Amino acid sequence: MSDTSKTPARRTAKGRSQGQQSTVASPAKMPAHEPCEPCDSLKAAFARQLRYDLCWDEQNSEAMFHALALSVKEQLLDNWRDTRRQDLQQHKKHVAYLSLEFLMGRTLGNALLNLELTDECRTVLQEYAVRLETLEQQEHDAGLGNGGLGRLAACFLDSCATLGLAVTGYGIRYEYGMFLQKIVDGYQVEQPDRWLRDGNPWEVRVPQHNVTVHFGGRTQSYVDLRGRCHILWLDTQDVLAVAYDVPVPGYRNGRVNTLRLWKAEATNEFDLAEFNQGDYTEAVAAKNQAEQITMVLYPNDSSENGKELRLRQQYFLSSASLQDLLRNWVQLHGMDFTEFPKFNAIQLNDTHPAIAVPELMRLLVDVYELEWEPAWQIVSRCLAYTNHTLLPEALERWPVRMFAHMLPRILEIVYEINARYLDEVAHRWPGNVSKLRDMSIIEEGPEPHIRMAYLAIVASFSVNGVAALHTQLLTSGLFHNFHELWPHKFNNRTNGVTPRRWLAYCNPALAQLISSRLGHDWVTDLSKLSALNAYTQDHAFVEEWRRVKQHNKQKLATLVAERCRVEFDTGMLFDVQVKRIHEYKRQLLNILHVIHLYQRVLTGDTHGMQPRCVLIGGKAAPGYAMAKLIIKLANNVAHMINSDHRAKPWLRFAFLPDYNVSAMETICPGTDLSEQISTAGKEASGTGNMKFMMNGALTLGTLDGANIEMLEEVGEDNFFLFGLNAPSVEELKGHYRPWEYIAASEALTGVMALLKSGHFNLQEPEIFAPIVAAIESPTDPWMLAADFESLRLAQLEVAKAYQDWQRWTAMSIRNTAASGRFSSDVTIAGYRDHIWKAR
């Protein structure tokens, strides 16, 4: 790699910057591109990093990982700088993707893949007698997210860079990411994730981008000499937002986008004020308080907890990111914001950063002195909002009281936005007071709240759901009033996952097999995989496909053996459900089915039974008692089954601790059957389902979220469908009688009897009583009992299909072949063309 022209993209970069007449900046602002020496090859960079690293010794793979990561980052720096320069010169539309979560996982392997450096890296490491895999394992996951929403943001960054879009991710640099999950006596125990302890080799601290964020204080108005009213936000407590940039390389295209993560620090002014009063320790304490804001990620998936610190995080991210955008604009264009929406879009990943709405108004009106109307025109042409959930407990509402003392100026702006918007509602539905009450951004009551989703919808030009069913349920249910008022705002963008990480990187054996027949183009055009359908009758190919799956199952079995001390036999069916633990995702239904299989073994009813290994993994929110109890049940049932020699030939069951992105990279390639069994109408999209499908797993699923579209693509013959659909779930509400379903199913009757007998909790009587009560409750929103028999029958079909391995393998190939639509490249092309209008 000493010859830099080998990187085609860098050549393009140089070629363009020479050929282009600069239409933008004065030479003073944009110095001409100084051609510089080609940077060191990976080999030379690595040698240098090791030589000057005092921690290095040959036994220490941690230090070697660090040196390697720094060397790879060096390889990115020229293209990173060129990308920024070109985006400015070419007047590219810029998109800011605001998200409280980016679940990035590890970076090294994926960066090597995208930069086409994997082989070179292996060669270099040979000289040091160390395997690349060994060093990769040293990297801490960047666990800056809970689950699907945060991982979606990470997949989107990869696709945006690969599609050549000028997209910056804006997030928070949490000191502690998602907690580490330990299992002790079957119970989840949370441990802090100090992922930055050994430093993060990928980040670059860029203090020149620092901004100040205000909290607290009071507002005061004054009229200037020309009669214009101004609002001052006074006596604030200020926090410094320090920018840390992380490179996001596209797939072999020379582009390197940026993920900018903000860290909170005390401002110098703040320190000084305290020092001047002579209180040194108070000053240091204040520093601590400021840094609290970015200390820890809230570990709730699909539920809000209304904590003040969480609102602080939301405002901190939104304000810092918007100030950054506006400052960049003013540097290039001066104070004229008329064209700002033409060159900027701001995507809100759920309502978590929806406070960006009033904050952007504040910056434009109070700081840059625009009038309200033109400012609102700009805001409502830039902002777009993605909704991620229909669960009522996940919809964010903040007490007005909290805003009043933390963000008094922002509250005034929210009131003003609401007043003007309610005029429009009143005009549309004259005299309809209940409409006004229902649609107001302020929810009245003894404790008034701000409805963040409504705030986001009112200000956004686009509101999207994340799967066809989800968008339909949004427009007909939760947001139907808004859909009537502004139908043009609503659109669907079905989620996707990046085929780089989730196939090319995590499943090299399958990737190679696919490329051997189709060439490499599928990596950036996943629709090409449909050509695999031609190989389902090709015996050599089918054999190879099966061998790859066996190889990946062996790797998964090794992971399970290490982490769970349970032996998985690769001759058995691998039946997997990994995702956050939540009642709507129905891990409990899966466990009930496992208990049923165990009972079949105990009663000798094993005729036609398919031996299988069942794996469940996922974290529960620390405050979610029922989810934690489900983990305990899974572990107790697993312990009972795995220590019973009668079950051994038929059934193994394990709970995998600490499910995260790195674990998923081993899990999805080694899975035969993917369980996507949520109650219909509750899972917005799902993305785990897509990773499994891409890697040739078959899906056992309900008609929920993106499962519906997956079924559409692959056909009913290659998908195990079961359960109620969303309208039936709704219909059943109010007259659901679970005991009737239990009585009608011999299998479920047996399972409930065994569960109630205390068989799985002999040492801890009654601990599972809440689970039994939930299943038997007529108000069980998840309707487990209603779907059990349907699940059991579908699982019989699974067993039958698996017993004909040629048939099963053909179905597996068809699933991968049909997964092209679920590339996040397709999703992002949709955002690009229909929302951002970017190129």
Ligand X SMILES: *Cc1c(COP(=O)(O)O)cnc(C)c1O
Q: Which is nearer to ligand X, 409 or 582 (CB)?
A: 582
- Cα–Cα distance for residue pair 80/313, rounded to 1 Å: 28
Catalytic residue among 483, 500, 579, 593: 579
Least distance in angstroms from the C-beta of 824 to ligand X: 11
Catalytic residue among 585, 619, 792, 814: 585
496: contact with ligand X by CB under 6 A: no
DSSP 274-298: HHHTT-HHHHHHHHHHHHHTTTB--
Question: Is 579 an active-site residue?
Answer: yes
Q: Which is nearer to ligand X, 70 or 656 (CB)?
A: 656
| Phi, psi (degrees; rounded to nearest 5) at 592 | -60, -40
Nearest to 180 by CA among 666, 667, 657: 657
Positions 550 through 609 that interact with ligand X (CB under 6 A): 579-580
Neighbour tally for 24: CB within 10 Å? 13
Least distance in angstroms from the C-beta of 660 to ligand X: 5
Catalytic residue among 549, 691, 821, 832: 691
Least distance in angstroms from the C-beta of 704 to ligand X: 11
Question: Is 580 an active-site residue?
Answer: yes
69: contact with ligand X by CB under 6 A: no
List 664, 714, 752, 818, residue binding ligand X (CB under 6 A): 664
Least distance in angstroms from the C-beta of 685 to ligand X: 7
619: contact with ligand X by CB under 6 A: no
Positions 634 through 663 that interact with ligand X (CB under 6 A): 660-661
Question: Is 585 an active-site residue?
Answer: yes
390: contact with ligand X by CB under 6 A: no
- Cα–Cα distance for residue pair 357/416, rounded to 1 Å: 12
Query: Which position's Cβ is nearest ligand X?
Result: 688
Work out whether the CA dihedral 10, 95, 247, 496 comes out positive or negative: negative
99: contact with ligand X by CB under 6 A: no
Stretch that binds ligand X, among 58-66, 147-155, 380-388, 477-485 (CB under 6 A): 147-155
612: contact with ligand X by CB under 6 A: no
Stretch that binds ligand X, among 124-132, 143-151, 179-187, 736-744 (CB under 6 A): 143-151
Q: Which is nearer to ligand X, 86 or 695 (CB)?
A: 695
617: contact with ligand X by CB under 6 A: no
Least distance in angstroms from the C-beta of 664 to ligand X: 4
Q: Which is nearer to ligand X, 361 or 497 (CB)?
A: 497
109: contact with ligand X by CB under 6 A: no
Question: Is 252 an active-site residue?
Answer: no
Q: Which is nearer to ligand X, 151 or 255 (CB)?
A: 151
Q: Which residue in the block uniquely carries the two structure tokens 């204080």?
A: 217
341: contact with ligand X by CB under 6 A: no
Question: Is 14 an active-site residue?
Answer: no
DSSP 18-74: HHPPP-S--TTTS------PPPPPHHHHHHHHHHT-TT--TT-HHHHHHHHHHHHHH
501: contact with ligand X by CB under 6 A: no
Size of the site for ligand X (CB under 6 A): 12
- Cα–Cα distance for residue pair 8/580, rounded to 1 Å: 41
499: contact with ligand X by CB under 6 A: no
Q: Which is nearer to ligand X, 412 or 665 (CB)?
A: 665
List 65, 97, 148, 500, residue binding ligand X (CB under 6 A): 148
Q: For residues 547 and 625, is the Cβ–Cβ distance under 8 A?
A: no
3-state helix, strand, coil in the chain (%, to 5): 50, 15, 30
Amino acid at 770: P
- Cα–Cα distance for residue pair 138/134, rounded to 1 Å: 7
How far, in Å, are 577, 731, 813 from residue 586 at the CA level?
10, 20, 28
Stretch that binds ligand X, among 146-154, 504-512, 645-653, 808-816 (CB under 6 A): 146-154
DSSP 205-230: E-GGG-EEEEES-EEEEEE-TTS-EE
Structure token pair of residue 792 = 């059991």
Q: Where are any strands of DSSP class E within 151-269?
A: 166-172, 180-184, 187-191, 204-205, 211-215, 218-223, 229-234, 237-249, 256-266
Nearest to 616 by CA among 599, 637, 634: 634
Least distance in angstroms from the C-beta of 212 to ligand X: 35
180: contact with ligand X by CB under 6 A: no
Stretch that binds ligand X, among 67-75, 449-457, 680-688, 766-774 (CB under 6 A): 680-688
Catalytic residue among 255, 263, 388, 483: 388
List 617, 688, 696, 723, residue binding ligand X (CB under 6 A): 688
Q: Which is nearer to ligand X, 139 or 265 (CB)?
A: 139
93: contact with ligand X by CB under 6 A: no
Q: Which is nearer to ligand X, 122 or 182 (CB)?
A: 182
Query: H/E element holding 104?
Result: strand 102-105
Quick check: helix, strand or coil at residue 643?
A: coil
151: contact with ligand X by CB under 6 A: yes
687: contact with ligand X by CB under 6 A: yes
Catalytic residue among 209, 553, 580, 832: 580
Q: Which is nearer to ligand X, 113 or 693 (CB)?
A: 693
Dihedral of the alpha carbons of 113, 119, 120, 124, in degrees to the nearest 10: 120
- Cα–Cα distance for residue pair 210/499, rounded to 1 Å: 35
Least distance in angstroms from the C-beta of 380 to ligand X: 32
Q: Which is nearer to ligand X, 211 or 694 (CB)?
A: 694
DSSP 405-436: HH-HHHHHHHHHHHHHHHHHHHHHSTT-HHHH
| Phi, psi (degrees; rounded to nearest 5) at 3 | -85, 105
Q: In this structure, are strands 94-98 and 166-172 parallel, antiparallel, or unpaired?
A: parallel
Q: Which is nearer to ligand X, 144 or 514 (CB)?
A: 144
702: contact with ligand X by CB under 6 A: no
Least distance in angstroms from the C-beta of 150 to ligand X: 8
Q: For residues 560 and 654, is the Cβ–Cβ distance under 8 A?
A: yes
Q: Which residue in the block uniquely carries the two structure tokens 């038929």?
A: 650
Least distance in angstroms from the C-beta of 32 to ligand X: 44
Catalytic residue among 671, 687, 699, 816: 687
DSSP 512-542: HHHHHHH-SGGGT-GGGGGGGGGGTT-HHHH
147: contact with ligand X by CB under 6 A: yes
Least distance in angstroms from the C-beta of 616 to ligand X: 12
Structure token pair of residue 681 = 């109408």
465: contact with ligand X by CB under 6 A: no
Least distance in angstroms from the C-beta of 580 to ligand X: 6
Q: Which is nearer to ligand X, 164 or 723 (CB)?
A: 723
List 109, 341, 657, 686, residue binding ligand X (CB under 6 A): 686
Least distance in angstroms from the C-beta of 493 to ligand X: 16
Q: How many CA atoms lie within 13 A of 149 on its CB side?
A: 27
Q: In this structure, are strands 102-105 and 142-144 parallel, antiparallel, or unpaired?
A: antiparallel
Question: Is 759 an active-site residue?
Answer: no
Q: Which is nearer to ligand X, 148 or 820 (CB)?
A: 148
Quick check: helix, strand or coil at residue 445?
A: coil
Nearest to 811 by CA among 546, 516, 554, 568: 546
666: contact with ligand X by CB under 6 A: no
- Cα–Cα distance for residue pair 564/562, rounded to 1 Å: 6
Least distance in angstroms from the C-beta of 691 to ligand X: 6
Which residues bind to ligand X, rule: CB under 6 A? 147-148, 151, 579-580, 660-661, 664, 686-688, 691
Q: Which residues are catalytic?
A: 388, 579-580, 585, 687, 691
